[in-house]
Structure 1
Amino acid sequence: MGGLIKSSIARKVAMALSGLFLVFFLLQHFTINFTSIFSADTFNELSHFMGTNPVVQFALQPVLIFGVVFHFVMGFVLEIKNKNARAVKYAKYNGGANASWMSRNMIYSGLVILAFLGLHFYDFWIPEMVHKYVEFAPEDPTRYYHELLEKFVSPVRTGLYVVSFVFLALHLWHGFASSFQSVGFNNKYSVGLTKFAKAFAIVIPLGFIIISLVLHFNHNH
């Protein structure tokens, strides 16, 4: 088992599987948030369910947090291992001749996304934990939309979210497509999966950008 974990193939597969798991969560998160731009009531209902369901709170949420931490730790491990391998094996390594710019700079887009997740946790997850488990405030099923809207009052904060979603798109553009190859989907469906991954990398971050801007301008009108 130790040898398997230490192997480069195992690391890539683990990175890909954790990334695919986070993509699934991202789609679910987007679906709920997208309802906020056309129905506050629907958003409140879905958010209340997610915020009070014990399976979500005490089973899925810890798994998600573990998945996020694992993915980023594996990302740093792979980056270090790849740099060490290049330093040893290729005295005149030409990255541009072997891989795209995005694939060679995944660590940087990942760092921006990690910083964004810190902001997102500060904006939403920590206040939610304080509300429920520190202040023991009475539950209000209608509070979620208003709280969401308040986070996008500032044009600076809204801008930070928009920039973060641009980097998310760049990260997904290479990461999502390559994850299929890492787990062995090199068959007749590869082309279709790659096209789907590229479309996902554009549509979902763009959708989040639209949500951010709509909430910002809705509040200011």
Structure 2
Amino acid sequence: MGGIIKSSVARKFAMALSGLFLVFFLLQHFTINITSVISPDMFNELSHFMGTNFLVQAILQPVLIFGVVFHFIMGLTLEIQNRNARDIGYQNYNGSANSSWMSRNMIYSGIVILAFLGLHFYDFWFPELVHKYVEANPEDPTRYYEETIAKFENPVRVGLYVISFIFLMLHLLHGFASSFQSVGFNNKYSKALQGFTKAFAIIIPLGFIFIAVFHYINHL
């Protein structure tokens, strides 16, 4: 941890690894959520498994929360470091001439995503904890679908989800590809990988938007 704190290269490497881990979780989360559009029964089955499996609840979930916090802290640290370097080293720094809008504003898209995660926890994670550990309700494997789609009856909440996933798309368009560069992935497959990361960054957030809008329209 001392090396991560002191070394810029180590920070970027740690940032990249945590980002790739979160991308894997995002894909897993999307895979489960899209089943709510295809088959409510399948969605209930998968959600029940994730909500009751010891490995998921006791190990993967805490690791995920740590990964989110760690990724944000590393991103904030690197942003402060980069701003200080620009202030010292460049009197006439022109960011738009050297980098894309997305790369220059990763911290802001990250803040929006973090705020969205707070809303997401408020909508789903905290009620789940209350349901299981405070109210101590009996297990009901069929409850997840109805509880989920109920969140998308509010147009304001759906709008916040849509905006958040647009910012996630912008964040991923730069961050996903740059994560592979930071961990040293640079070979003949780099161009193909870059195309894949861009496609992923667009398709997955649009998929989440589709899920939210679908359930809103379907229950008007």
Q: Aligned ranges for residues 39-188 of structure 1 at < 5 Å?
A: 39-188=39-188
TM-score (norm 1): 0.98
Q: How does 1:18-29 map to 2 (within 5 A)?
A: 18-29=18-29
- Equivalent residue number for residue 12 of structure 1: 12
**Are the aligned partners of 2:106 and 2:171 in contact in 1 as well (CA < 8 Å)?**
yes
Tell me, what secondary structure is at the counterpart of 1:152? helix
Aligned equivalents of 2:132 and 2:74: distance in 1? 32
> Cα distance 1:6–1:126, how it changes in 2: closer, same or farther (>3 A)?
same
Q: Find out whether 1:206 has 2:197 as its counterpart.
A: no
CA RMSD, Structure 1 to Structure 2 (Å): 0.9
Deviation, structure 1 residue 2: 2.8
Matched position secondary structure for 1:201: helix
CA pair 4-106 structure 1, distance change in 2 beyond 3 A:
closer
Q: Which amino acid aligns with 1:100?
A: S
- Quick one: which amino acid aligns to residue 177 of structure 2? A
CA distance in 1, matches of 2:147, 2:2: 46
Paired amino acid for 2:160:
L
**CA distances 1:60-104 after superposition (whole Å, capped 9, x unpaired):** 000000000000111110110100111111111111121111100
Other structure's SS at 1:151 match: helix
Q: Deviation of residue 38 (structure 1)?
A: 1.4
Q: SS state of the match for residue 152, structure 2? A: coil
What is the identity, as a one-letter code, of the residue corresponding to 2:104?
R
Indicate the SS of the match to 1:138.
coil
Quick one: distance in 2 between partners of 1:129 and 1:81?
38
Structure 1 unaligned blocks of 5 or more = none
Once structures 1 and 2 are overlaid, which stretch shifts more, 5-14 or 200-209? 5-14
> Deviation of residue 218 (structure 1)?
1.6
Matches of 1:157 and 1:75 in 2, distance apart? 27
Q: Write the distance in 1 (CA, Å) between the matches of 2:4 and 2:112.
A: 30
How many Å apart are 1:174 and its aligned residue? Answer: 0.3
* Identical counterparts, % of pairs: 75
Q: How many residues align?
A: 220
Give 1:4 shift: 5.2
2:2: which partner in 1? 2
Are 2:3 and 2:10, in contact at CA under 8 Å, matched by a contact in 1? no
Task: Quote the Cα distance in structure 1 between the aligned partners of 2:3 and 2:142.
Answer: 52
**Distance (whole Å) between structure 1 residues aligned to residue 50 and residue 183 of structure 2:** 30
Q: CA shift at 1:105, angstroms?
A: 0.4
Report the Cα distance in structure 2 between the residues aligned to 1:137 and 1:3, rounded to whole angstroms. Answer: 46
Distance 2:143 2:4 in 1: 48
- Give the letter for the 1:209 counterpart: I
Aligned residue type for 1:134: V
CA–CA distance in structure 1, aligned partners of residues 68 and 194 of structure 2: 23
Structure 2: which amino acid aligns with 1:82? N
